[in-house]
Amino acid sequence: MKTFSMGGVHPQDNKLSARKPFMVVDLPDVAIFPLEQHIGAPAKPIVAVGDKVKAGQMIAEAGGFVSAPVHSSVSGTVQKIATFTDGWGFDKMAIHIKVEGSEWMENISTDNKLRNECNLSSEEIIKKIADAGIVGLGGACFPTQVKLMPPKDMSVDTLIINAVECEPYLTHNHQLMLEKPAEVLMGVRILMKALNIKKAIIGIEANKMDAVKSLRDDESMNRQTGESISIEVVPLKLKYPQGGEKQLIEALTGRKVPNGGIPAAVGCVVQNVGTAFAVYEAVQLNKPLVEVMMTVTGPSVTNPGNFVVRIGTPIEKVLEMAGGIPEDTGKIIGGGPMMGKTYSHTNHPVNKRSSGLLLLPKDLAAPLEEKNCIRCGKCVQNCPMGLAPYLLATQGEMALWDDMEKEQVANCIECGCCTFTCPSNRPLLDYIRYGKQTVMANIRARASK
């Protein structure tokens, strides 16, 4: 079975909520829509206090080329446009809407009928995706329409769909492929049409063979005779971080993205499977990105499962659906255990970035005793980007930013393999991530001079 060549680890996958059908989370009383839910410029509000909005209505427009609009996921009245405290205690701007119901905009289709026809041109599709506020749902939240317009001098021939879900515990992508294979594949077809290419590869890790089968069956059933496009579903060997863009391209096509380059440089565009589904909804149903799929899980959670959540719902409400916060909880992590970040409180809304809630009990969340580096080289061996994490971490600790830049810290994908594998429990990634931020800021400062 295929996989990427350099580094990587295999944490126990702990997919506690696998094959649990999606449950819909109830509407909140007040929905909060942050203006920064994506990489790039924050969105600009286009509603005023007191305005009535419907579900699916745009409430903030894109604030630049790399930006995405925000839509209301509920119908109600705009209460205020003010700050809220995000999951880590910082103040961010948001639109607060008093929820009155779930009345959708007239042009949005809310029945579950599959719409398998798409006669729009590439430009029309990209415009629809941009207007729907779709961002990469794999975690980075990069606006999707920007990715669909690769630089003119690069020719793209392959669309890669990331359905790897290599993070331990998370299962919502798996469930999406089991429940909505036809919609996902239609989304893939639309993305191929937008890019004007004929080849797509869907990469799925081998612990989800039922999803591979579900997609393959649906693909062969819906294939029109004489169709010239090919959609291939490829199972991959279990290895983290296979969902990393560069790792996935290498695993599926054998191509290596050059140092500092984007996937389009080797003719690939990578989209998450969740994004493909969101694209289907946006283009075929006119439904903007107002719902996200989330996994709520943890060893002591009463009812771990997969949930469909309206953006703006407080995470407290989502946790309630999963049976509340268990007493022994030590940490609530937004996302998976490898790349997720611990929240400092639970009174903040679900946004486009939300992919999961992992509740770790105290014994698993307790920090391990940090010891000295024994120069075993495990971090170097397991780094999927071929860096020397032990060196970068020391440089970060000693604030040697220029040296870190020379050691290519900008290539770090922050996957956490180094910290995971370190026998001395050193917080390697903490130092490297901080160093990377400083180095990137230095590079930007130099460029703007």
Partner 1 sequence: MNIIVTALIVLGCIAIISAVILYFVAKKFAVYEDPLIDQVAEVLPGANCGGCGYAGCRAFAENCVKTGKLERDYCPVGGTDVMKRVAALLGVEAQASEPKVAVLLCNGNRECRPKLTTYTGVKKCSIAHTTYAGETGCKFGCIGFGDCEVSCAFDALHIDAATGLPVIDEDKCTACGACVKACPKLLLQLRKKGPKNRKVYVACKNQDKGAVARKACSNACIGCSKCVKECPFEAITIENNVAYIDDTKCRLCRKCVAVCPTGAIHAVNFPVKKDENV
Catalog residues that contact partner 1 under the rule CB under 8 A: 88-91, 341, 344-345, 365-367, 427, 430-431, 433-434, 437
* Cα 351 to Cα 333: distance, rounded to the nearest angstrom: 15
Maximum alpha-carbon separation in the chain: 64
Closest CB to partner 1 among residues 259, 344: 344
Q: How far is the CB of 398 from partner 1 (least distance, A)?
A: 11
Q: How far is the CB of 234 from partner 1 (least distance, A)?
A: 36
Where residue 56 falls (left for φ over 0; alpha for ψ -120 to 50; beta otherwise) is left
Q: Which residues of 355-379 are buried (b: 16+ CB within 10 A; e: fewer)?
A: bbbbbbbeeebeeeeeeeeeeeebb
Amino acid at 223: R
Closest CB to partner 1 among residues 307, 431: 431
Q: How far is the CB of 250 from partner 1 (least distance, A)?
A: 30
Q: How far is the CB of 169 from partner 1 (least distance, A)?
A: 19
Closest CB to partner 1 among residues 247, 419: 419
Closest CB to partner 1 among residues 1, 441: 441
Within 10 Å of residue 153's Cβ, how many Cβ atoms?
7
Closest CB to partner 1 among residues 263, 336: 336
Residue 207, φ and ψ in degrees, nearest 5: -85, 5
Q: How far is the CB of 367 from partner 1 (least distance, A)?
A: 4
DSSP string, 57-90: -EEEE--SSS---EE-SSEEEEEEEEEEE-TTS-
Instruction: Give me the helices (H) in 383-427, please.
Output: 389-397, 401-406, 417-421
Query: Does residue 241 have a cis peptide bond before it, meaning omega lies within 30 degrees of 0?
Result: yes
Closest CB to partner 1 among residues 16, 365: 365
Closest CB to partner 1 among residues 65, 88: 88
Mapped onto helix, strand or coil, the DSSP state of residue 175 is helix
Q: Residue 46 class from Cβ within 10 Å (0-12 exposed, 13-18 middle, 19+ buried)?
A: middle
Q: How far is the CB of 428 from partner 1 (least distance, A)?
A: 10
Q: How far is the CB of 434 from partner 1 (least distance, A)?
A: 5
